[in-house]
Amino acid sequence: MQNVPIASLGPCQFPSPLHQIGTVEVPFKTDADRILYTNTVAGLSTDSEAITFEEAGPREHIFFDPAKTTVGIVTCGGLCPGLNDIIRGIVNQCHRQYGVTKVYGFRYGYEGLVQRYGHTPLILRPESVAQIHNFGGTILGSSRGQQPVGEMVDTLEDMCVDILFVIGGDGSLRGAAAIAEEVTKRGLSKAVVGIPKTIDNDIMYLDKCFGFETAFAEAVNAVKCAYTEACGAVNGVGLLKLMGRDSGFIACFAALAGSNVDYVLIPEVPFALEGPQGLLESLRYRLAKRGQAVIVVAEGAGQNLLQSDGSTDASGNARYGDIGLYLKDQINSFFKSRRMEVNLKYIDPSYIVRSVPANPQDNVYCSRLAQSVVHAAMAGKTHMLVGRWHNAFVHLPLEMVTHGRRKVDSKGELWHAVLESTGQPARWE
């Protein structure tokens, strides 16, 4: 077995204030409590799969003295259901369970950690966050892009912040890793802990990210609307574009749950538009046979069909062409050239999905995730994040999850289930 190491600030000398919550003994964990990377017997037979992750949970002794500890929280990147739930969970856990009374919320992402922007941090208390989980977005605001690492660490020093919680996707987590490295270079005893956030559910080594349950539930409603529109006209086509820059999880889950989808197009599976085996001819046959069709396309699908100028956004991600509008134009042109009536309705609910409050499943997940990250940080864990793997919360090094993206396996069970549900071609030629 190979244990994945987690960085620590040093020995834990303070007894945890969680020794007894009410009349229930706390299920303390130790660093020896591990979760296997693989969940198959076959996986254990290969050395490459026989690795273990440190299990998350409260430690019997902690590194920081709660009465002298100051915490900072920052939310980065695009909006996602559950951001306010995570903030609320961290604040409540710090105040009510550990007795940490100084919690700052840095506003507008990493900009809030650079003093020249003038974003005054918020003071967060249980009473000020009591109802924020009922609202979408983040009360702290957010922004994209990196900021000077040295200036951000200067702010942490000036404000005597001992623990920084970074809530964001892979770009934001790379920023958290850079902050942690600068903290180490300066010899400071500050913990930097990430909370992985991506609506695309594409963080490596995680079962799922918070907000995903809500996102695909909202996407299912959009699938129903696309189906209703398709059924309401002669040769009706409901074309729905969903999130998914590099991973098609939302498109797959929404299609399976919606059950009325004829085509799912995702970044992991290239598709042909023209030709006898292409999407357009397949769609023509489907309309002739059934009279309506629903197409779900992830935003990153079919980028090989579009021209790119090579530009990037503030986070350094390549700017993708709009595959939804492209497909809309191509479908309309195709049927017009064949003098066949088509009534296409195009739906893009991306920002509606991003901005809604978390649903009950995500409420619970966010609450437990927030508790776990506070346990880890108070124990002096740093340069790491907390996520769920095989239904258990685990500690993972930041660098381990930022060197790639989790993707839909085109030969796996999920994609096979989509093919069975839609009846679309397994290969486009």
DSSP string for 224-251: HHHHHHHHTSTTEEEEEEE--SS--HHH
Backbone CA torsion sign across 81, 21, 394, 14? positive
CA dist 138 and 159 (Å) reads 22
CA dist list (Å): 421 to 270, 382, 411: 19, 44, 15
Is 196:208 a contact under the CB 8 Å cutoff? no
Q: What is the maximum alpha-carbon separation in the chain?
A: 78
Is 389:22 a contact under the CB 8 Å cutoff? no
200 is catalytic: yes
DSSP string for 298-339: ETTTTGGGS-----B-TTSPBPPP-HHHHHHHHHHHHHHHTT
Is 267:244 a contact under the CB 8 Å cutoff? yes
Catalytic annotation, pick one of 200, 246, 262, 362: 200
Structure tokens at 210: 């918070």
Helix/strand/coil percent split, the chain, to 5? 35, 20, 45
Helix (H) or strand (E) holding 19, with range, is none
Structure tokens at 275: 């030709």
CA dist list (Å): 27 to 7, 17, 33, 369: 22, 13, 12, 16
Give me the residue label for tokens 């037979």.
45
Say whether 58 sits in a helix, a strand or coil.
coil
CA dist 78 and 333 (Å) reads 34
Is 187:379 a contact under the CB 8 Å cutoff? no
DSSP state letter for 203: -
CA dist 364 and 292 (Å) reads 39
CA dist 347 and 211 (Å) reads 21
CA dist 66 and 324 (Å) reads 51
CA dist 356 and 381 (Å) reads 32
Active site residues: 200
